[in-house]
Each structure stands twice: as C-alpha cells, then as structure tokens.
Amino acid sequence: MGIFTAGPALSGMDYDPQAIEERWRQRWREEGRYEADPAEGADGDDATFVTVPYPYPSGGMHIGHARTYTVPDAYARYRRQQGDNVLFPMAWHVTGTPIIGAVERLKKGEAEQLSVLQDTYNVPEEDLSDLETPMGFAEYFIEEHYKKGMKSLGLSVDWRREFTTNDERYSKFIEWQYRTLKEKGLVEKGLHPVNYCTDEEQPVTTHDLLEGEDAEFQEYTLVRFRGDSPDNGDADRAGASDDGDAVFPMATLRPETVRGVTNAYVDPEATYVRASVDGETWVISADAAEKFDLQDREVEIEAEFAGEAIVGTTVANPITGDDVLILPAGFVDADNATGVVMSVPAHSPDDYVALQELQARADDLTAYGIDPDAVRAIEPIPILSIEGYGEIPAKSAVEEHGIASSDDPALEEATNDLYNAEFHSGVLNDEYGEFAGEVVEDVRDAFREHHAGDAFDTMQEFSEEVVCRCGGDVEVAYQETWFLRYNDEEWREKTLRAIENLDAIPENTRGEYEHTVGWLNEWPCIRNYGLGTRLPWDQEFVIEPLSDSTLYMSYYTVAPHIQDVPVEDLDHEFFDAMFYGADAVDDADPKALELGEEWDYWYPVDYRFSGNDLITNHLTFYLYHHAEFFPEPKWPQGIVVMGMGLLEGQKMSSSKGHVVLPGEAIERFGADTVRFFLLNASEPWQDYDWREDAVESTHDQLRRFYNRAQELIEGPAGDRDAVTDVDRWLLSKLQATIETATDAMERSETRTATQAAFYGFDEQLKWYRRRADLDRPGARWTLRHVLETRLRLLAPFTPFMANELHEKLTGTPAEDAPWPEVDDDLRAPDLELAEERVQALVDDINEVADVTDTDPETIRIYAAADWKRQVFDAVREVGADVGAVMSEVMSDPDLRERGNEVNEVAQDAVEFARDYDDEELADLLAMDEQAAYENAAAFLEREFGADVEVYAEDDADVVDPADRAGNAIPFRPAIYLE
C-alpha cells in the first residue's frame, strides 16, 4: 500500500480552497472582524452603510440568492480598503403569509412541498417536524441555509445586528412608523378590490390560488338599460310589473359602443333575480347578485326566475332611448359580470355571427313569444369608422376570416384584431357630439366619465376564472382596508426629489422609479392574517410584507443595543426621540438619544442592492418612506439594481429542483470561485447564467493564479533598483489596471473591475513572461510588487485567497491593506507605445509565416527612413488630413522630389495616426524605432527560433535580398523572412 493509495503529494502547494477558506472564516468569527461600530467621536463622514433586502426564508437559499448578497459584500469590502467604516447588516423577513402557507402545505403532506423541502433543499426526514410551526420553519432555513450559506461565502456581515420581522422590538419600531404615518394622514381606511374566496369567506393571496393566478381585475362599465322587471319566481312573463323602471345593467369593456347596441342577450336556462341594489330595482343573474353583494352594494333579492322570464321583453338604451329586445343565447355566461349582455353586431364579430345565427332560426323564437320578423329586422348599427374595414367592421372581419359559425376558432382572432384596430384607430361617428371625430383610444375614459352616475355604473370582474386552493370560487370583493396613500401629491413630490438625488445604478433605472411614482395608487398595507406586526390601532390586521420593509434599514443601526431596552419602554416617544432628537418629545429617554446618535452616525444608506423586479414596489416604497420620515441628508444615496440568474440557460426553479445550492457549489469549487464567478459573469444589473463548465474554468484560473503566486512568494524578493524597461512597462500597465478597477468599483461594476484586475492583467503578464528574463532581481521585484497590488485589487472578490497570499507575502491580510492607488511615477506611456510596436511586429511576422507557410531561419527587419518620419511629423502638426499633410510636406524641397512616394506614406500615416492622440503621437515620434527593434532582437530570436537582423531602410550596408526595405513606413517596419 502506501504509494498507490495516498497518491503523490502534489508539490504540497496546490490550491486547496477548503482549507484556506475555513481558516479565514474561523479567524473572522473569532476576531469579530466585520462587527462595525461608530468610531469614537467621528461624525459619520467615514461611515458607509450598505444594505440588501433581508431574505425571505420561505424556502432554502440557492445560487441566485447568493449573488444578491455577494455583490454588496464586494462593494463593502472595497470601501473598507478605501478606509471607510463599513456596516453591512443582515436580517430576516418573515412577515405575511408565504411561510404560513408553506407550513400548511407541509402539514397537509402535499407532495410538491415535500419534494421541494427534501429533494431540492435536502431537509432531513427527522428535521421535518421542526418545520411545522411558522417560526420553526423560518428558523430552520435561516440557520441551516441562509446563515450557513452566507458565512461560507464569506459575507462581511455584522451578525450582531440580525433580527426577524416578527421580533417584538422590531414590531415596536413598525408600530411607531405606522402611527406616524397615520398622524400625517398617509394611512387611510377605504374600500379596495381583493381576491375573495367565497367558500372560506375571506380574502386570499395569489399564492393561495389553484387557477387564475394571472387573472387581473377588470373594471367593467355597466350600461344601465331600463325596462319592466318580472315580479315573481314563475317563468311567466305575464306577471311582469309595468314599472318600466328596473335597471338591466349590461357589462362591457367598450362603453363607447353603447350607441351600436341592437339587442340584448340572457341565458334562458340560468337563474336570474330581481333585486334591490342600493335601493334600485335591478335585474341580473343570481351569480351577479352575489358579486355585487361582495362589492359593497346593498343587495336584497326580491324574486328569482329563469332567464327565460325576461327573454322577449324590451329595455331602453339610456343613451339613445331606443328600445332593444332581449333575446335568448346559450353562450351567455351568467357567472360572468351581470349575466345580461348587450349586443353590438356592427363592431363585435361574436355578436355579428350570433345575430346571424339567431336570425336564421328566428321562427323558433316564437316559443318565447317573440315576433320572428322583429328579430329578422335587426340590423347592425355602426358607430365608428375605421380604415381597412367596411361600413360594418364586424362583417368585414368575419368575412375576411371566412368565419361560418360561432364555434369557428378564428372568431377569437378576428375579435382581437378588430377590437385592437378600433381602439387605436376607430373614429367615432357624428352622433357622439363632443366626442365625434375622435379616436376611441383618446376619448373612451372621458366618454365613460361623461355618463358616469346616470347611464353608466361600474363593477369589478376577473379577466379569467379564479379558483382557490380549497376549491372555492374566488370573486372580486371590496374590503374595508387600510392603505398607504402613495398617490398623495406632496408625498409624490418629495419622493421624486429623492429620486433626483439618488445615484441610480444603472442610470437608466431612474426613469423607472419616476414612472412608478407616477402610476402608484393607494396601497393596501394590511392583511387579515400572517406573521408580523399588528396594526397598532386596529389589532385585527397585520401590516403586510411590502409595507413593513420600507424604513427598517434604520433599525439595523441600533439593533444590538436596542436589545437592552425593555420592550415596554419602546413607545412612540422613544422612537420620536431617537430619530428626531430631544426636542421632539417632552421628556426624552436618554437611551433613545444614545441610540439616535448611532443612527445618525450610520445614516443615510449609501447603497442598497436589490433585484430589478423590485423597482416597481419595494424600492420605490423605500424611497417614499425615507422621503417622508427623514430630512434630505438622510435619504437613500444610491440603489444598485441586480439582474436575474439563470442556471444552464434555464430559469431556476425550486419546485422543479432546478437549482444549485451555495453549500454544494462551495464544497466543490470553493467560495472564492463561486464569488468570483458570480461577480465576474456580468455586471450586477445584467442577467447572468450559472454554467458549470464556466465555473469549473473559473476555478482552474484561480488555482493557476494561486500556484503562481505561491512560487513567487517562496522565491527571492528581488531588487527594486534593478528594474529595466520591460519591468517598467509592466508596472505602467499595472497603473492602468488600478485606474480601471477603481473607477469600476465606484460604480459597483464588479465585472469590469475583476476583468481588469484578473483577466486583463493576466494578458499583460503573459506577454511579460515571454518577453522578460524572469530570474533577474529586477523582474522578481516587479512580479512581487505586481502580485501584492493585484491581491489588494482582488480582495473584495476573492477575499480568502487574497488574504492568504497577501499575508504570506507581506505579513498582513489583503483586506487590511489599503486599496491601491495609481502611482504616476510608474506610468510610462513611451514604453507602452514602444512595446506595442514590438507586439505588432510579432503579429506581422506570424501572419507572414502563416500565410507563406514558412519557418524562417533569418528575419530581416527594416525600420523606415528618416524622411518618412518627417511626413509623420507633419501629420502630428496639421492633423489627420491627407490634403493638409501633403501641402505641408511639399514645402520641403527634398520631399517634393519624392512626390508619389510621399503621397503614399502620407496616406498610411494619416490612417495610423487616427488611433492615437497628440500626446501619443509625440511620444511615438520621439522614440528611436530602430533601437527598439534592436533591443527586441534577442527576444524575437527566441520566439521564432531564427536569426534576427535589424536595419534602417536607408543604411549603407543594408542587406535586402528581396527588395523589401522600401516597404517600411514609420512604426511599421518592412520585414523579410527567409
């Protein structure tokens, strides 16, 4: 055994992320490395406060969540190296119903839920029982997933500050927030449409739905036709009362078509009622009566009868006064809207076909006591004109689609097309008075408004069937609720100002915030049940999740110390004193003032990092509340919005098990690899794709980096005084790298920063390794200096590895070393330009060798003659304009003699010069080109395994067997391979 089982100890320095990372995690834990407290006597100028929405532990953490927290961590680490005192806290959002729902599904033993828990998130069988209470459930995922995951990732979180939104002290804070809002009149009571399960008799959330999750509330216009109502339950219309005053509300989404109504439909089989609705007599379906009851109308059913009972009666159009006939139709759904439908055959393909079919069998209608001739006499009434359709648009549409009957599937398309066309380009006829000649789109709302109250009424209805998980029918109900008045003008103004001041990253999100403020209405901020804080003045309600997460970043600043304050002391005055100072209350609690100081030190939030999907609610709410509660200097300074994550090109989905858990990824690749990949895959706001092959390759790159660094650290220190031009060239490139990375991090561009510090600079190093003799003391020093700088640049992204190596190299961890600054003395633009020429030369030689398929034994290089440089000089003087250059150059008699030759060089020079600015051109012209190639000759000989000879084009002893030398132009030497 022995040698075969143990395997060779690979050089002993191979990259072992698990071991390195565990050491640092332990060290951070023991040192309390990221516990941030205000510096003694400091005013907060050095404070940076970074937050991220607290996770919602209704399930486990996956790699998509990991990035949300890693990006702010990288920024926090960057600011620490810049010398800031940085606070990056974390807490847990448990408010509302999702956790409760998850627990219930677990307790019911739902297969899907069990699969998510056990297969996706690896909850062991024996732990399942701990998950049967909401807080037990939350606790499990907080401890076993989120916290473990975050700690493994090396997030620089101050863990002393964690809390859950179900904590009693947090609730005291939320109570203060909502009492304050109420005092300001920004929380009000009112009616709001909600999803209401008619079986459970309570409001339900989207998550409670079995069907119709995508259903929208639609506001129907009810056209109040009037007519006689039946007065009893018999299907005998002889008993109809002659009041002529009952309302037959007909629901439509196109109120402007009211003038085109030719008849109405009801389902003769369905149950209808005569009911008193808000004191009026209405005739509607029984289902509709229930809906109106839920929508806060006073409904009293007076009589019940089959639809048949009203078939054949006439009702009067409230706009035109015309009488229309009620006809029977099987397609009427009594459970949709009012169950009484108006028919506009000129503009609705459905109605057009239905009418035709009905007219074809008009004789059958005598059974309802209807005169067939009256039905046959019905003609479509057009109310608008539209290009591309005939006088009767519905007729054109039906004919064009070749529709023969009402069960033709093409009918739906025809209807959609026509509705769309009419909405956007239908012009109303003359009868519309002040609305005549207008396009529907522009006047529909005004038209409806115009007739609201008398001819028109409204109701809410879902756009599709909605069914509760319990199997019950879900209807739109109006509920008494407390809501936040996000449409309050003053509040809006303040919030818009907050948006103006905001550093919105990326910048194009600013408009989205503004847009959101524009359309945001009242927001119901309470639920009937759920975890969280009860509304202080109405204990039966709970403040909902998007409403109790708007100001809480303040709470982080005092979270550890507030634990020492007895809960009962945390009254309204306490928080008033804490946030608004001693003068805000009569008798300020000294503890409150003390906490207030810490708040004042950390606030405002410098950057909040959050998903881009939250702009339209959470993030905008956050701005609203801060704008209202705090003075301008405490408003949010910046928001960085984050993109979505994909897994192997597909959406992640915990229910499908299509997720990667951070713990598993870290175990396999190491936390640095996971972090680096997440930070480098794209900029924070862009979407990214977790692809295993790419992660693997990232891991390989880090390993290579680590091993190379190890070698350097173990090798000799070198000598700064021995550096040569190549070394200076590399050091100059390093300065540009520092500059790029720094600028990028100021804008949270983690991809650009890592790309520059890692991959970008690797390219330079690659060249340097080819070019330079690495055993020289000057090179050793350079490489170690470069390594030290890069480790500091990489510390925010790969803190474990960077710390480990930096400490070995210098004695201090990278995170304790300052962020590198550009050293202008190390910039050498002239060397960079010269080196660029050598690189271009290598490329050219390669190309020629490749095209001619030769392996040269001798390479001859010819630098351009001096007179050609004069032409270049002219370009620098007069600019990249061939004409101007020529006239300048032709004043020189020597050059004038060369005529055409000069012209050619001038053209090349102008083209070349376009890539460089004046300074660079001056540097180029100052360089001794031939010397640069001569200095590179040894290198070129190594590279190509050939002899290299360098000449000036016009040397007396130039060897030019193939007559190439004349091709030379400045900075582009002629070459000949043989």
Nearest to 740 by CA among 759, 729, 728, 755: 755
420 makes contact with RNA (CB under 7 A): yes
CB of 950 to RNA, least distance (A): 13
Q: Report d(CA 765, CA 757) in Å as an integer.
A: 11
Whichever of 36 and 794 has its CB closer to RNA, that residue is 794
Residues in 183-242 that interact with RNA by CB under 7 A: 192-195, 203, 205-207, 216-217
Smallest distance from the beta carbon of 7 to RNA, in angstroms?
13
Give the orientation angle of helix 98-107 with respect to helix 134-141, to 10 degrees: 100
Please report whether residue 721 would count as binding RNA according to CB under 7 A.
Answer: no
Alpha helices in 34-146 (DSSP H): 63-81, 98-107, 111-115, 134-141
The two tokens of residue 221 are: 């216009």
* Closer to RNA by Cβ: residue 359 or 682: 682
Binding to RNA in span 606-665, by CB under 7 A: 612-614, 616-618, 644, 651
3-state secondary structure of 190: strand
Least spacing, CB of residue 167 vs RNA, in Å? 16
Is there binding between residue 844 and RNA (CB under 7 A)? Answer: yes
| Residue 479 to residue 495: CA distance in whole angstroms | 28
- Binding of RNA at residue 442 (CB under 7 A)? no
- The one-character DSSP state at 946 is S
Touching RNA, residues 345-374 (CB under 7 A)? none
Contacting range for RNA; rule: CB under 7 A; set: 141-149, 469-477, 590-598, 848-856: 848-856
Q: Is 915 exposed, middle or buried (0-12, 13-18, 19+ CB in 10 A)?
A: exposed
Of 497-536, binders to RNA (CB under 7 A) are: 508, 511-512, 515, 519-524, 527, 530
Please state the closest distance from residue 159 (CB atom) to RNA, in A: 21
Binding span for RNA by CB under 7 A among 95-103, 235-243, 393-401, 950-958 = 95-103
Minimum separation from the CB atom of position 262 to RNA (A): 28
Among 364, 763, 857, 941, binds RNA (CB under 7 A): 763
Nearer to RNA, 361 or 769 (CB): 769
Q: Binding to RNA by residue 465, rule CB under 7 A?
A: no
Query: Nearer Cβ to RNA, position 590 or 961?
Result: 961
- Please give the size of the binding site for RNA, defined by CB under 7 A: 81
Q: Residue by residue, what is the 3-state secondary structure of 324-377? A: EEEEECCCCCCCCCCCCEEECCCCCHHHHHHHHHHHHCHHHHHHHCCCHHHHHC
* Nearest-angstrom CA–CA distance, 159 and 154: 12
Nearer to RNA, 313 or 612 (CB): 612
CA gyration radius for the chain? 39
How far is residue 399's CA from residue 394's CA, in Å, rounded to a whole number?
Answer: 8
Residues 6+ apart with CB under 8 A from 213: 206
Q: Is the backbone peptide bond immediately before 72 cis, with ω within 30 degrees of 0?
A: no
When the beta carbons of 366 and 686 are compared against RNA, the nearer one is 686
Strands (E), 432-547: 456-462, 467-468, 474-485, 503-505, 522-524, 526-527, 542-543
Q: Which of residues 51-70 bind RNA (CB under 7 A)?
A: 56, 58
Residue whose CB is less far from RNA, 455 or 652: 652
Cis before 604? omega within 30? yes
> What gap in Å lies between CA 836 and CA 911, rounded to an integer?
17
146-150 own/partner pairs: CB under 8 Å, 24+ apart: 146/55, 146/57, 146/61, 146/65, 146/92, 148/663, 149/61, 149/65, 149/66, 149/661, 149/662, 149/663, 150/61, 150/69, 150/90
Nearer to RNA, 653 or 887 (CB): 653
- Residue 766 in contact with RNA, rule: CB under 7 A: yes
> Smallest gap, in angstroms, from Cβ of residue 977 to RNA?
4
In the list 14, 132, 664, 843, the residue contacting RNA (rule: CB under 7 A) is 843
- Residue 684, interface with RNA (CB under 7 A)? no
Q: Is 261 in the site for RNA (CB under 7 A)?
A: no
To RNA, the closest distance from the beta carbon of 521 in angstroms equals 4
- 261 touches 285 (CB < 8 A): no
Q: To the nearest whole angstrom, how small is the minimum distance from the Cβ of residue 523 to RNA?
A: 4
The footprint of RNA on residues 912-951 (CB under 7 A) is 914-915
Asked if 488 is part of the footprint of RNA (rule: CB under 7 A), the reply reads: no
CB of 306 to RNA, least distance (A): 36
Shortest separation between residue 634's beta carbon and RNA, angstroms: 25
